[in-house]
Amino acid sequence: MEYSDWLNPRPFQDDAGFIGKVFAAKIRESGLEEVICRLATEIWTKQHMQQDHQLSRSQDAVLDTDELWFGKRKVLYRLRMPDNSLWMARLHNTLYNKTAVTDHATRMTNQMLLFESEVATMQFVRENTQIPVPKVYGYDFTYKNVLGTPYIFMEYIAGKPYPFPFSEKGRIKDADLIKIQTQLTNFAWQLSKYPFDKIGQLRFGAGAEGGVAIGPIIDRKERLYGPFTSSRAFRGHSTGIAQRQCMNLKHASIHYNLLFDEQCTIVGVIDWEWTQTVPVDSFKLLPWNAASKMLLYRAEDVARHEQNSVQQFKALSAGVGSAVIERDVLEAMISFQGSLPQSIARYLEEYNWPEVRRKNYNQLKELISKLTSSFQLSNGRAEERSARDGQKPASC
């Protein structure tokens, strides 16, 4: 079956006076575009010298295009290096000021911690999985560098975000969606094989396993909290799971940050800001169901893709022993798919996002009420069975 419509909202970057464009103009007027190129050249030269490469460059890095890429908190520049390779330079937008932290020094510290977490996460995922993450060439977390703002130099990946390639084809085939969903489920599987013992964001950890440690969470309003050792401590609310559990990495907004080629292959997963470890009740096997974004897709089609993802995950996990990941954790990940506890977990994790509306609170309240009723009914039946058998009910 084929569809020709898709959800394609107007990008906020098109707004007149968008803050990213204002910041980019400030960078150009200050002559910092030349500084970006010079800094990239220095990093490139140092790397080649460390690898004992013979350098015969005749020019420095240059901006490869006048087109810039914007986010609300960042501006990206594509650079052509002396060896003709392509890099991306990403600068933090110092004009962005949506924060709940009033103390300037605390805010700067939290921003630098968030930046460190993103780079540590990118490097961990790139080194331990086959997920296509850009290689990081250089970075500075501070505001005291020559650019006056945190920056990253990374590999350029030649892909485009959704709705490409559908916007080029003019059609959406079910087989294309299945291909996308299969890749995403495989990414989830790869991340699930590296459990952590705390809920938080990754930091560089000297001597720690994998070169990373779990530190506190910096949320979207730049507040710091955690790390946590259980779902109950994380949320202040139990979703009905055991206190002892493994935490797994979860990309905060993967659906906005996938790069595709013309064959619907995901060639890049970018923007790992706010990625953190989450408990098993938060681990969604299909982190972004593209079918749910299609205007003409029916609810049963969306559910079918979700179920296919669960079946694929089961197939991937078949035969995996406890030496890799605990069997009960794998089973818990699968059992929570589409459940009330998982829905509650999703709403609770999004509660601090600026985009959350009143309806989310009402839906969350309704879900918790349903879950509470379910627990009460389950416990009542357990007590009845225990009374019939002359046994005491098991304590939770």
pLDDT in tens, the chain (396 residues): 565 556 655 566 667 678 888 999 999 999 999 999 999 999 999 988 777 666 655 678 999 987 788 877 899 999 999 999 999 999 999 998 888 899 999 999 999 999 999 999 999 999 999 999 999 999 999 999 999 999 999 999 999 888 888 777 777 888 999 999 999 999 999 998 888 989 999 999 876 666 899 999 998 889 999 899 887 788 764 444 444 467 889 998 888 899 999 999 999 999 999 999 988 888 888 888 888 877 778 889 899 999 999 999 888 888 776 566 667 778 888 888 888 888 878 777 665 554 455 566 677 777 778 777 766 566 555 555 555 566 544 432
* Beta-strand relationship, 248-250 and 224-225: unpaired
**Interval 31-65: pLDDT, tens:** 999 999 999 999 999 988 777 666 655 678 999 98
Residue 251 near residue 129 (C-beta atoms within 8 A): no
Cα–Cα distance measured from residue 302 to residue 289, given in angstroms and rounded to the nearest whole number: 7
Predicted local distance difference test score (pLDDT) of residue 231: 79
Token pair belonging to 199: 């809920």
Predicted local distance difference test score (pLDDT) of residue 218: 93
**Interval 180-191: pLDDT, tens:** 999 999 999 999
Which pTM value belongs to this model? Answer: 0.86
Of 126, 24, 1, 144, whose CA–CA distance to 72 is shortest? 24
Burial tier of 324 (Cβ tally within 10 Å: 0-12, 13-18, 19+): middle
Predicted local distance difference test score (pLDDT) of residue 27: 94
Boundaries of every domain in the chain:
159-372
Residue 120 near residue 140 (C-beta atoms within 8 A): no
Of 22, 73, 39, 235, whose CA–CA distance to 145 is shortest? 39
Residue 374 near residue 340 (C-beta atoms within 8 A): yes
Cα–Cα distance measured from residue 396 to residue 381, given in angstroms and rounded to the nearest whole number: 15
Q: What is the DSSP string of 83-111?
A: TS-EEEEEEE-TT----S---HHHHHHHH
- Number of Cβ atoms within 10 Å of the Cβ of 368: 17
- Torsion angle, CA of 74/77/78/82, rounded to 10 degrees? -130
Cα–Cα distance measured from residue 382 to residue 392, given in angstroms and rounded to the nearest whole number: 10
- Number of Cβ atoms within 10 Å of the Cβ of 228: 20
Cα–Cα distance measured from residue 25 to residue 31, given in angstroms and rounded to the nearest whole number: 10
Cα–Cα distance measured from residue 289 to residue 162, given in angstroms and rounded to the nearest whole number: 12
Count Cα neighbours of 153 within 13 Å in the Cβ-side half-sphere.
23
Of 258, 263, 78, whose CA–CA distance to 168 is shortest? 263
Cα–Cα distance measured from residue 212 to residue 215, given in angstroms and rounded to the nearest whole number: 9
CB-based contacts of 143: which residues, under 8 Å, 6+ apart? 94, 108, 112, 149, 150
